[in-house]
Structure 1
Amino acid sequence: MTDDRPNVLLVLTDQERYDLSAPDGPPVETPTMDRLSSEGLRFERAFTPISICSSARASLLTGQFPHGHGMLNNCHEADAVQPNLPTEIQTFSEVLDANGYDCTYTGKWHVGRDQTPETFGFSYLGGSDRHHDDIDDAFREYRRERGVPLGEVDREEELYTGDDPRDASEGTLVSAVTPVDVEETRAWFLAERTIEAIERHADAAGPFFHRADFYGPHHPYVVPEPYASMYDPDEIEPPDSYAETDDGKPQVHENYRHYRGVAGFDWELWAEGIAKYWGFVTLIDDQFERVLAALEDHGLADETAVVHAADHGDFVGAHRQFNKGPLAYDDTYHIPLQIRWSGVTEPGSVCNRLVHLHDLAPTFLEMAGAGIPESFDARSLVPVLENGGTVPDGLEWPDSVFAQYHGDEFGLYSQRMVRTDRYKYVYNSPDIDELYDLAADPAELQNLVGHPDYAGVRKALRERLVDWMDRTDDPNCEWVPDVLASASTENRV
């Protein structure tokens, strides 16, 4: 009997902004992502449930919001609330494995200090880095064989956080040029390992699921030529949010700029970092093209649904911030999501409905004809994939997305967010809340939480947030509703 279920290739990037591959975004060369959009369906409004790596990746696996699976911050840090994903929680990969899929994995994991993808139904094929996972030595050995061991090359144009942006003795490396060849980058290596996996799957019976997780464009934005000089910093314009004053915002916004060591950065320094970030994105895009070519070379393109997404975004100078943190701006929550599924998705179609990253978990299971666990707090995207990006008649679809944040190495910071097409409300437990009119202020510069003209909007969004907290068994629903109900019309502190 022929198994006509699709293979699935998931390419997940690390800290990639939505706008980089959007049609109206900055002039970043992403021909492969653009091709995926033109041959499949692009989601205009996909959002991560949390803008921190371990938590978002655990949500993708479990179909749950972070307060459900319990991984509230990064597992590799000393202050990890929960260093490992509880094995009793069902993951989409384990369900796929139980339903006859050969599940393989290359690249970044970062979902458990003492776990690997093999704990959750995957075969791991290498490519980890020592900082986050240290699962294997494959890439380090590869670099030794090529005569350029990791850590033994002299970078140029190094940019650091801190008082002296050229001082390597303090701060965090933001960007640099590496002298190695493209074939010696981790991005190239991960693409090569993914291609090897595709070759192996081509000779096997039954469907496969392969996940390729690139270590980038997460900082440090260290790229080789020709990508390092592909974008001229002098031609990069500041985003509208660069005009941020922090007026009327939670104090943590200003604190984080100092904590990250970028309070003294001027636009010239930011443009230098952004140029390398853009180069990093194009480098990954080119490696993605090699992977798609491998599917075609082995006759698998029509049999394989290809999905590209990111765990979360990156500030890269927006709001004059670096990295991410307890700032619920679209810069880090709005993510790219493109799906090409031959014979199902309409080429060039667009979905403008609000969706979550972890909606992919039930989507993969419905593609495979497998049952969706009741523990999932997510919905399958298959109905909109099959219907040209629109919701079929008679199917209810939410008009809000939700997110949360719990802190990273800066310390715990309880935060909840509800976003509709037009408005965003952010609950900040230790400080003033936030309300943005995204139609009038897409850069999210003006906090309207105390504006009398938005009293009705504020009340409605608070009610949506409380309802979601109750439906998803958010532990904070025991007391936050009372806080919001008794909040003043101006500030909530």
Structure 2
Amino acid sequence: MNRPNVILIMTDQQKRDSLSVYGNPVCRTPNLERLASEGTIFDFAFTPYPVCVPSRVMTFTGRYSHVTRSRANSVLMQPDQEHLIMILESAGYSLGLSGKNHCFQADDLDRFDYLWECGHGGPANPPDETAQKAKDFIRESKINPRCWGTVTNPNPPESLGAALTVTHAIDFLKTRQDDRPFFLWCSIADPHTPLQTSEPYASMYDPEDVPIPDQRDDEIADKPLAQQLDHKALCGEMVTEDDIRRVTAMYYGMNTYIDTEVGRLLDRVDALGLAEDTLIIYVSDHGEYLGEHRMIRKSKALYDCLTRIPLIIRLPGLVPANERRDEFTEIVDLMPTILDIIGLDHPDGIQGRSLMPLLNGDGYAARDAVFGETGVESPDGSFRVSGFDDMEGIPTSPTTPNFSPRLKKGDLGPIKSVRTHDWKLVYYPGNQEGEFYDLNADPGELTNRWSDPAMAEVRSELTARILDWCIEMEDRRPSITRGAF
């Protein structure tokens, strides 16, 4: 019997609770609801490192970012990492990638039998004049560089990235020349900024109808300096409620546009007779502020709005249909899950947990917490504030006069977190400041209780959990060649 096919549908920067399948009362995503009704949806799925490349590398290696060393968008998959595409190639799979890469270097891209790339600015090689016009419009529209600008693309939806990505994904399915099982990565670059789409999606949602996240005017005052810097970098003090409504309405339109295209892909899978033998996974690499903490986009932080992601899995006959799970899962779990479902061995050093025992009821040992890390945004390990170098009043170069000694010392760099169902602790080096949230009373993570004496015992326990995790999740694979004695 042939091994199952695999389709991994990945979106970019898609906020979990912006989708109707996760309870959003306004944004319509009927095709994701259809997928969830035919499969299993996970309510507590997280990415440990909420940045594009680190999260994608974790997806394909099953290892955390401090092990893969991909802790910045400039650090793609490293040559010493054994990853899913390598394993599937050896197992005889036909491999396709349509859409955004932001993971693999050139040598690994050569493994794909079918490769068509499309990023946030449109496809690398637009297939026709209309697609070229849509790409040119994005480049020339001068959307607000602080990332809360929105614009309607005058070109038809089929000329934009999500539709083109799905069209080429379908082309891969239709043009395969043999009966080998296939792996297709359909990687949609939306709803990541720039915030733009075509009609009817651009005006589909009225800004007055969208929900607004809870806010606290003085929220940032009791947050660590790193969060204050990021808040300034993203101009949080300038973002108004009207801005949030306008951005959210456009973002919802992009979501529904993506959903329409996902539906088109699902329909073609059905029409080609592939549905019964194809594992489909829908996931996003990370989330988006979308007005939470009065910010748009993402930053060096570990808030739930950035780390908690949508995850739906479907495979008729193996994955239960119309089921919701509330166990903690992480994006590192996807690789071992795929390997178990298709019947291939795990490579050494996998840190994720296969979800197969959870899906088939075979003694799954559920996590009681998930962990996170972020903060290194440059290949040399130096600290940067959200990639901006021109913030008035905040020097961001060690050569700048009056540069903050804390930035020089590097104690605004890497941070790590632990999240249970009740609490979240974010640990900063030096232990002089941090973040601590009561998630039952404060699900929006607005009130930092790090300095609350009443929280000292729980804070100490969770800090020890982070230390344990760091030790347990060291890379235990051999990394040296021993010489002869």
Matches within 5 A, 1:314-329: 314-329=288-303
Q: Which amino acid aligns with 2:95?
A: C
Matches within 5 A, 1:90-129: 90-112=82-104, 114-115=105-106, 117-119=108-110, 121-129=111-119
Structure 2 residue ranges without an equivalent (≥5): 378-383, 388-411, 477-485
Moved more, 16-25 or 351-360: 16-25
Equivalence for 1:205? 179
Equivalence for 2:135? 150
Q: Which amino acid aligns with 1:20?
A: S
SS in 2 for 1:375: coil
RMSD of aligned alpha carbons: 2.3
TM-score w.r.t. length of structure 2: 0.86
Instruction: Determine which of 57, 77, 81 is the counterpart of 1:85.
Output: 77
Equivalence for 1:482? none
Matches within 5 A, 1:10-159: 10-21=8-19, 22-75=21-74, 83-112=75-104, 114-115=105-106, 117-119=108-110, 121-129=111-119, 137-138=124-125, 140=126, 142-144=127-129, 148=133, 150-152=135-137
1:309 to 1:243, Cα distance in 2 relative to 1, 3 A: farther
Q: 1: CA distance between counterparts of 2:48 and 2:257?
A: 27
Say yes or no: does 1:254 pair with 2:244: no
SS in 2 for 1:362: helix
Equivalence for 1:160? 144
Matches within 5 A, 1:264-413: 264-387=238-361, 392-393=362-363, 395-408=364-377, 409-410=384-385, 413=413
1:351 to 1:219, Cα distance in 2 relative to 1, 3 A: same
Q: 2: CA distance between counterparts of 1:372 and 1:329?
A: 31
SS in 2 for 1:346: coil
Asked if the contact 1:106/1:190 (under 8 Å) is kept, the reply is yes
Cα displacement string for residues 244-263 of structure 1 (whole angstroms, at most 9, x for unaligned residues) = 62132112223222212343
Query: Identity of counterpart residues, as a percentage?
Result: 29
SS in 1 for 2:204: coil
Say yes or no: does 1:193 pair with 2:162: no
Asked if the contact 1:155/1:179 (under 8 Å) is kept, the reply is no
Equivalence for 1:469? 470
Q: 1: CA distance between counterparts of 2:253 and 2:99?
A: 20
Equivalence for 2:449? 448
Q: 2: CA distance between counterparts of 1:225 and 1:295?
A: 26
Equivalence for 2:395? none
Asked if the contact 2:147/2:193 (under 8 Å) is kept, the reply is no
Q: CA deviation at 1:47?
A: 0.3
1:177 to 1:69, Cα distance in 2 relative to 1, 3 A: same
Q: CA deviation at 1:456?
A: 2.3
Asked if the contact 1:425/1:434 (under 8 Å) is kept, the reply is yes
Q: CA deviation at 1:124?
A: 4.1
SS in 2 for 1:450: coil
SS in 1 for 2:106: coil
Q: 1: CA distance between counterparts of 2:91 and 2:139?
A: 48
Q: 2: CA distance between counterparts of 1:278 and 1:252?
A: 30
Q: CA deviation at 1:67?
A: 0.6
Q: CA deviation at 1:415?
A: 0.7
1:183 to 1:444, Cα distance in 2 relative to 1, 3 A: same
Q: 2: CA distance between counterparts of 1:247 and 1:149?
A: 42
SS in 1 for 2:129: helix
Moved more, 302-311 or 446-455: 446-455
1:205 to 1:279, Cα distance in 2 relative to 1, 3 A: same
Structure 1 residue ranges without an equivalent (≥5): 76-82, 162-170, 476-493
Cα displacement string for residues 421-444 of structure 1 (whole angstroms, at most 9, x for unaligned residues) = 111110122661111111111111
Q: 1: CA distance between counterparts of 2:138 and 2:44?
A: 41
Q: 2: CA distance between counterparts of 1:223 and 1:426?
A: 36
Q: 2: CA distance between counterparts of 1:283 and 1:193?
A: 17
Asked if the contact 1:43/1:337 (under 8 Å) is kept, the reply is yes
Q: Which amino acid aligns with 1:439?
A: N
1:68 to 1:197, Cα distance in 2 relative to 1, 3 A: same
Q: 2: CA distance between counterparts of 1:243 and 1:160?
A: 24
TM-score w.r.t. length of structure 1: 0.85
SS in 1 for 2:220: coil
Q: Which amino acid aligns with 1:236?
A: V
Q: 1: CA distance between counterparts of 2:197 and 2:94?
A: 33
Asked if the contact 2:147/2:296 (under 8 Å) is kept, the reply is no
Asked if the contact 1:95/1:365 (under 8 Å) is kept, the reply is no
Equivalence for 1:480? none
Moved more, 347-356 or 255-264: 255-264
Matches within 5 A, 1:158-237: 160=144, 171-172=146-147, 174-201=149-176, 204-237=178-211
